[in-house]
Amino acid sequence: MPSLLEIGRQDRVLWISLNRPEKRNALSAALCRELADTLEKAGQDPSLGAILLTGNGKSFCAGMDLGEIGAASSEELNQVHERLFTVGFRLGVPLVAAVHGAALGGGTGLVANCHIVVADEHATFGLTEIRLGLWPFLVYRAVSAVLGDRRTLELALTGRILGAREAREMGLVHEVAADLESRAAEIAAGVASASPSAIRTGLWFAHETRGRDWREAGEIGRQVREDLFRSADLQEGIRAFLEKRKPKWPSLS
């Protein structure tokens, strides 16, 4: 039986490809569990600078595996879906998506969890659960954090499908690229070249301050900014800038 994920690495970028092409990478319980495990483990790896997520075959991810409805424990599914569809809010490593074909339902939820999203011109997105008599409960929060409550509600109520350019206009997609894989790889490599301590601190700050009031978020920002001001990475970054060379981040040694 082939692995549900194909995993590779290039320098400081971990490549993860969903590998159920015959099912359009539909999210079975086993795939959700393996993907959540892999992402959480990667998020704890200090040698990684970015994760690039894509899918094998014609689609990025067609959503929930409908063949498993009722077959797996409801509580088990709830737990693994909660882990997977909140992972982007917990990762200390940037998650970049390269999206082609369909990214529907849970596929849109995965996209919303990614920090940077690149799509090809034929990619499609949507919260299509309502067409089946369902509601996108577990992906709703992640999509709403990206698109806002009103837009997310409209998509959930109508189940309509977005093209790549409309998804970009809404903010779900950052860039539409003709050469999807190479462009996404370029972005991931660029992000991975940044200071690991600055990236982890910045992601923590973004996650920690979400939903907090202005003053409280500002106080958190002041504290972590002072920590970064004292970091060896910042000193190396300043030296490298003045000496016109690439930095050698101490936090990687």
Rounded Cα–Cα distance for residues 48 and 65 (Å): 31
Rounded Cα–Cα distance for residues 128 and 193 (Å): 37
The tens digit of pLDDT for each residue in 84-124 reads: 999 999 999 999 999 999 999 999 999 999 999 999 999 99
Q: Provide the residue type at 177 as one letter.
A: A
For the chain, the first-to-last Cα distance in angstroms comes to 39
For the domain 5-192, what is the CATH superfamily, name and number? 2-enoyl-CoA Hydratase; Chain A, domain 1 (3.90.226.10)
Check the CA dihedral 103-109-110-114 and report its sign. positive
Rounded Cα–Cα distance for residues 187 and 10 (Å): 13
196-252 CATH pick, 1.10.12.10, 3.30.40.10, 1.10.238.10, 3.40.50.1100: 1.10.12.10
The tens digit of pLDDT for each residue in 121-151 reads: 999 999 999 999 999 998 999 999 999 999 9
For the chain, the domains span: 5-192, 196-252
Catalytic residues: 129
